[in-house]
Each structure stands twice: as structure tokens, then as C-alpha cells.
């Protein structure tokens, strides 16, 4: 199961790159692999550190620029953590869900319930095109430790 999910994530990210006119280089394929293996969010430094294993000559600027572009394309979700700064994870495109994020260990849990269904009568005749919903707290494991 884990392998097929990993393969799907790589395929999905490469598909988005391709749809946006990107040439699929070995470096970009490696970046997709890194996110497919990742559990939770990764900082640009985390990604850079893993990229340099296979590509010692890659620059941090190149990695960072690619992360931002992949995020704009919708291949990556980005989030700004108070402590950890800007971090990224592979987007979940196969179905709609939301995240619970531990502010201590950054573990991410998904939940299927969508609070947007409860929103009515938004001010200013606002038309929603997309949304994300994240809840921050402390996971069960971190609560036990403290």
C-alpha cells in the first residue's frame, strides 16, 4: 500500500510539472520522490539536504525556487509554522480533506469532515474558489510527554 501511494504521489507531482510546461529532469523527479517519502511537512533546508545527497552541486536557491513554483502550481501545499518557518508537503489531490497539525512535533493528521459546509451568508457576496482548513494543537504523543 505504502509503495503504491508513494508512486501515485510521484506521478501526480510529475504530471503537474508537465502540465505547467516543465521539462522533467532527474532533479525534479528526485524532488517528487523526496515528497513522496516524507511524513508531514518539510522545510526548504530539509529538502535541500536530501537533494544534495544525489546532486551535491544543487544550490539552495534552486531548491527554494522550485518549491515556491511547485506550490504555485498546486503540487505542494505550503504552511508557515511559528517556530519552524515555511514548510511544504505534497498536495493531496485524490480527495477532499483537512488537517490537524501538532505545533510541537508537526505531525499531520487528516480528517474528512469539511467545516465549509456550515458556512452560509458570507459578507460582501464573496465567491469562494478554493479553501484550506488547518487546526493547530498538540497531538496525543506530545501530550503524554509533557
* Helix residue ranges, H only, 21-124: 26-37, 44-54, 60-73
Alpha-carbon distance 88 to 46, whole Å? 10
State if pTM tops 0.75: no
* 72, 90, 108 - which closes a domain: 90
pLDDT of residue 65: 95
State the CATH number of the domain containing residue 115: 3.30.1490.190
Residue 48 to residues 30, 35, 43, 65: CA-CA distances in angstroms?
A: 11, 12, 9, 11
**43 and 64: one domain?**
yes
Specify the pLDDT at position 115.
79
**Is residue 94 marked as binding?**
no
- If asked whether residues 72 and 137 sit together in one domain, one would say no
Q: Is 142 annotated as a binding residue?
A: yes
Is 114 marked as a binding-site residue?
A: no
Rg (CA), the chain: 17
Same domain for 115 and 70, yes or no, is no
139 marked among binding-site residues: yes
Determine whether the annotation assigns residue 92 to a binding site: no
Give, for all 146 residues of the chain, the pLDDT tens digit. Answer: 457 778 888 999 999 999 999 999 999 999 999 999 987 789 999 999 999 999 999 999 999 999 999 999 889 988 877 777 888 888 876 666 777 888 888 787 877 777 777 777 778 877 777 777 778 889 999 999 87
Contact 88, 78 (CB under 8 A): yes
131 marked ligand binding residue: yes
Q: Which domain holds residue 6?
A: 2-90
**59 and 104 part of one domain:** no
Q: How many domains are there within the chain?
A: 2
Report the C-alpha gap between 34 and 89 in whole angstroms: 10
Find out whether 96 is annotated in a ligand binding site: yes
Amino acid at each position: 500500500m505504502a509503495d503504491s501511494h508513494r508512486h501515485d504521489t510521484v506521478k501526480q507531482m510529475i504530471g503537474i510539472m508537465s502540465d505547467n510546461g516543465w521539462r522533467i529532469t532527474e532533479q525534479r523527479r528526485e524532488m517528487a520522490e523526496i515528497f513522496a517519502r516524507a511524513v508531514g511537512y518539510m522545510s526548504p533546508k530539509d529538502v535541500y539536504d536530501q537533494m544534495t545527497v544525489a546532486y551535491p552541486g544543487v544550490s539552495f536557491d534552486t531548491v527554494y525556487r522550485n518549491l515556491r513554483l511547485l506550490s504555485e502550481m498546486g503540487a505542494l501545499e505550503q504552511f508557515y509554522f511559528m517556530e519552524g518557518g515555511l514548510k511544504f508537503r505534497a498536495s493531496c489531490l485524490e480527495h477532499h480533506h483537512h488537517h490537524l497539525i501538532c505545533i510541537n512535533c508537526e505531525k499531520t493528521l487528516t480528517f474528512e469532515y469539511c467545516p465549509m459546509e456550515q458556512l452560509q451568508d458570507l459578507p460582501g457576496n464573496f465567491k469562494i474558489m478554493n479553501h484550506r482548513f488547518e487546526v493547530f494543537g498538540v497531538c496525543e504523543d506530545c501530550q503524554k510527554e509533557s
